[in-house]
Structure 1
Amino acid sequence: MNISVIKYFLAIAILVSFSFSALETKPTEKPVTDKPNIIVLLCDDLGYGDLSSFGHPFIETPNLDKLGATGIKLTNFYSAAPVCSPSRVGLLTGRSPNRAGIYDFIPAPKKSEDIRDLVHLQAHEQTIPALLKTVGYSTCLVGKWHGSSKFNSDEQPKPDHFGFDHWMATHNNAGPSHQNPKNFVKNGEAVGEIIGFSSQIIVSEAIDWLEKKENDNPFFLEVAFHEPHEPIMSPENLVQKYLKYTDVREEAEYFANVENVDIAVGRLIVYLEENNMDNTLIVFSSDNGPETLQRYPRATKNYGITAGLKGRKLWTNEAGIRVPAVMKWIGKETYTGTSEAVVSSLDFLPTFCELAGAKLPENELDGESFKSLLDKGEFKRSKPLIWAFYDAINEHRVAMRSGDYKIMARLVAENEELPHIHNLYDGNIDFVKGAKLTDFVLFNLTKDFAESEDLSAKEPKVFKKIKKEFEAEYKDLLAGSHVWVR
């Protein structure tokens, strides 16, 4: 064999050796099956104190309590808004709902001066299910949508546009009540009357979707309960159970309504366990605080409690936005215990994207990943949480949580309090931008979660610092808020 042939075979051997070495050291892409399933369970108008683990003296919620006891119970968890539609949009997008142009609940389409009939989650907004689909997830929504004025119309995007492979939902409330609802739509087709109670109906639909899912892809499932929002109806056996605690039947119906959700959650958990879905992160919360009894004619059964927090739904005080929350990662060792970390539903999108390996959207996010809370029980926000709810019942309609403190302010334009506003549009935006933050109040929520003592005069250095931050954050939010034009 001549020298040139020897050199040729030597070169081939070196090349093959290098190739195998490269294969051994090259990191492999994480298999799809290693990505966690993610389930968001969302109640409607549930009070901070409405779970037994959050202090309710009568309502029994053993399944949700167990999730918190074996996972994480969050005592400083916030919704994105003190009312339904903006809260849900904030959860899905990781952005203040003001940036998406959702300022209040979305009614059925009816032309008005402030053009609320146009309001909807716009097609360009990037959502949790859409982002997770890019890394192999199957996705499903069951329950309440409330993200468009023209529900199930080709004039506005439907849930499938935002990444839901399968959806069975209502525009707003289950109607005519939670019992035997008639207004569900499945993948664009009206379903008609369904016998049963809404919480059980949607969990059955979720389980059916999981049963029929044709692949082993990880999944994202949003279970958006209608309970305990009006019109409340509950199983009679549960109502009778709670009549021993109250002689007001409507109150017993409310208690039963919450327990019926817990029973539905228990059914879903049993299904997961029986089918070895042991890499599943479950997050439970509420879209906002409890409704006020008799606030409107049909609000006859709203007996939710706030556990000492000030306000209720539609307030920027704590009871409007601080809600019960528990998390449990089935099949994975995480931090376990009660956490006082300040967490928001805005944080779901960046957290889920990090866990799934999905890229974050390019548009501005207000949420932050709390993966470190799952890993180590530690999470500290780098950016404060801010709410500007122009239709708030309380006077201080703009609020911000920064560390241990919460600062709030009224809005005054032309020497008068800003009128109640449902929507920002080209007819009022200049007026709103001309309004000034005033009459500031400051609370230390770690010492005074009832917001009973204004510290703006007692702690001038803290107040000055946080007030400056607050004004800058509100200015940024207002500048980035969507303005509707007909």
Structure 2
Amino acid sequence: MTNFYSTAPVCSPSRAGLLTGRSPNRAGIYDFIPGLKKSDDNRDLVHLQAHEETIPALLKSVGYSTCLVGKWHCSSRFNSDKQPQPNDFGFDYWMATHNNAAPSHQNPNNFVRNGQEVGEIEGFSSQIIITEALEWLDKKQDDNPFFLQVAFHEPHEPIASPEDLVQKYLPFSKNREEAEYFANVENVDLAVGRLIEYLEKKHKDNTLVLFSSDNGPETLMRYQRAKKSYGTPGELKGMKLWTNEAGFRVPGIVSWIGENSFSGTTNAVVSALDFLPTFCELAGAELPKRELDGESFKSLLDNGEFERTKPLIWAFYDAINEQRVAMRSGDWKIMARIESEGKTLPRIHNLYDGNEALVKNAKLVDYALFNLKNDIVESEDLSLKEPEVFDSIKKEFQIQYKGLLDGSHIWLRNDE
């Protein structure tokens, strides 16, 4: 899928959007969730709330067994009874970390299995979580269908890679750090290969596999530990944390093992928001009663055709670029800066009662319009050249943003 999007340009909100089929802003997850540390903006309260309906819970309701391995990153209090944990959202079994594998991908010591700390595990994170997933599948006592979420840490920092793979890439790299990054990517590829080989052997009749990413590539040395972040956006503009295309236009690969489904390349506009409604339709599960931002792309799997009826909108208040709100509608993308009292809204990690009025009273200004079909690099602003299209898209954009803002969760200290 060449027009596939994550639900945010950064990890935690992206994962929340994937799990719920709703913009992460509605769940109140606006930025990555740090470890627990009380802050003035109530960021320490942020977590996926118990009322959110998720893919594993919905599939479990129609007889699926469910498992999460890898990265959770949907709560500020990981493995605590003070906030919901993976099992509270429908995962029967889980082995996960709060955020990154620590102290690195090699021999991590921060995994928790079903609420119990595991301690140091020998090996590399990508291979460790695949081994855990395969063991779960092997030990499954029932004949239920299954939902398995494999959330790799790699190639996020702190990067560590098998030495044989590092040596393989040294001749093609600027330095050892870049070779370690390339090796990190291949180690994920090898881990995915182990899973696919297993599924093709033991679950070859009807298994849908989707591969993607939570956001675009990290910027080298954006922070002190990002010294091995050699990912590239290719021709796309921006990087992780941007609302330009490289922030959230990510790989989207589907393989339906055992089914005679559509095969090939599609430029249909698809989002990780669409996973939940698609999986529910395929599994016969009822959709949540709450409004979804995603929609089923079953027709794409059936015959290669899918036309979105809902535009995709992102409001990422901590974006590195100034135009922090963006929307894709058909071939068009519109972006805008947020301004309050003549100044660009400051970068914000979280919406709470202390900044709610500031954000909700701010205005969208400095619009830019791009035709992504013809201009994937977002090089030519067509807002003046295409006035009729611009006026139409702008009106839709304003309506969609207001709806998203009105539905965004505001964190209050007394919610604790």
* 1:472 aligned residue (387, 396, 399): 399
Q: Give the AA of the match of 2:51.
A: H
Query: What's the secondary structure of 1:126's corresponding residue?
Result: coil
CA shift, 1:272, in A, is: 1.4
Tell me the equivalent position of 1:191: 118
Tell me the equivalent position of 2:266: 339
User: TM-score with structure 2 length normalisation?
Assistant: 0.99
| Contact 1:400/1:406 (<8 A) preserved | yes
CA distance in 2, matches of 1:272, 1:393: 40
CA shift, 1:101, in A, is: 0.2
Q: Structure 1 segments of 4 or more deviating over 2 A? A: none
CA shift, 1:277, in A, is: 3.5
Q: 1:391 to 1:247 in 2, by over 3 A?
A: closer
Tell me the equivalent position of 2:371: 444
Tell me the equivalent position of 1:400: 327
Q: Deviations over 1:302-347 (max 9, x none)?
A: 1111110000000000000100110000000000000000000000
* 2:340 aligned residue (413, 424, 430): 413
Q: Does 1:314 align with 2:262?
A: no
Q: How does 1:238-277 map to 2 (within 5 A)?
A: 238-277=165-204
Query: What's the secondary structure of 1:408's corresponding residue?
Result: strand
CA shift, 1:274, in A, is: 2.3
CA distance in 2, matches of 1:292, 1:145: 23
| Contact 1:100/1:122 (<8 A) preserved | yes
Query: What's the secondary structure of 1:244's corresponding residue?
Result: helix
Q: Give the AA of the match of 1:292.
A: T
Q: 1:440 to 1:377 in 2, by over 3 A?
A: same
CA distance in 2, matches of 1:422, 1:276: 42
CA distance in 1, matches of 2:194, 2:12: 27
| Contact 1:80/1:90 (<8 A) preserved | yes
Tell me the equivalent position of 2:60: 133
CA shift, 1:273, in A, is: 2.1
| Contact 1:309/1:319 (<8 A) preserved | yes
Q: How does 1:152-301 map to 2 (within 5 A)?
A: 152-301=79-228
Query: What's the secondary structure of 2:138's corresponding residue?
Result: helix
CA distance in 2, matches of 1:413, 1:171: 35
Tell me the equivalent position of 1:61: none
User: TM-score with structure 1 length normalisation?
Assistant: 0.85
CA distance in 2, matches of 1:225, 1:246: 24
Q: How does 1:18-97 map to 2 (within 5 A)?
A: 74-97=1-24
**Structure 1 vs Structure 2 CA RMSD:** 0.5
* 1:368 aligned residue (295, 307, 315): 295
CA distance in 1, matches of 2:395, 2:144: 47
Gaps of 5+ in 2: none
CA distance in 1, matches of 2:114, 2:254: 29
Q: Give the AA of the match of 1:241.
A: K
Query: What's the secondary structure of 1:343's corresponding residue?
Result: strand
Q: Give the AA of the match of 2:35.
A: A
Q: Give the AA of the match of 2:19.
A: L
Query: What's the secondary structure of 2:265's corresponding residue?
Result: strand
Q: Give the AA of the match of 1:135.
A: V
CA distance in 2, matches of 1:270, 1:478: 44
CA distance in 1, matches of 2:226, 2:380: 31
| Contact 1:272/1:278 (<8 A) preserved | no
Query: What's the secondary structure of 1:205's corresponding residue?
Result: helix
Q: Give the AA of the match of 2:62.
A: V
Tell me the equivalent position of 1:423: 350
Q: Give the AA of the match of 1:461.
A: E
Q: Deviations over 1:192-245 (max 9, x none)?
A: 000000000000000000000001100000000001000000000000000111
Q: Give the AA of the match of 2:270.
A: V
* 2:385 aligned residue (453, 458, 462): 458
Q: Give the AA of the match of 1:373.
A: L
Give the share of equivalent positions with the same residue, in percent.
Answer: 75
Q: Does 1:107 align with 2:107?
A: no
CA distance in 2, matches of 1:402, 1:269: 34
Q: Give the AA of the match of 1:259.
A: E
Query: What's the secondary structure of 2:57's corresponding residue?
Result: helix
Q: Deviations over 1:340-366 (max 9, x none)?
A: 000000000000000000000011100
Bigger Rg over Cα: 1
Q: 1:276 to 1:109 in 2, by over 3 A?
A: closer
Query: What's the secondary structure of 1:337's corresponding residue?
Result: coil
CA distance in 2, matches of 1:316, 1:134: 36
Tell me the equivalent position of 1:118: 45
CA distance in 2, matches of 1:466, 1:276: 45
Gaps of 5+ in 1: 1-73
* 1:148 aligned residue (75, 97, 106): 75
CA shift, 1:377, in A, is: 0.2
CA shift, 1:278, in A, is: 2.3
Tell me the equivalent position of 1:357: 284
Q: Give the AA of the match of 2:379.
A: S
Q: Deviations over 1:21-59 (max 9, x none)?
A: xxxxxxxxxxxxxxxxxxxxxxxxxxxxxxxxxxxxxxx
Tell me the equivalent position of 1:379: 306
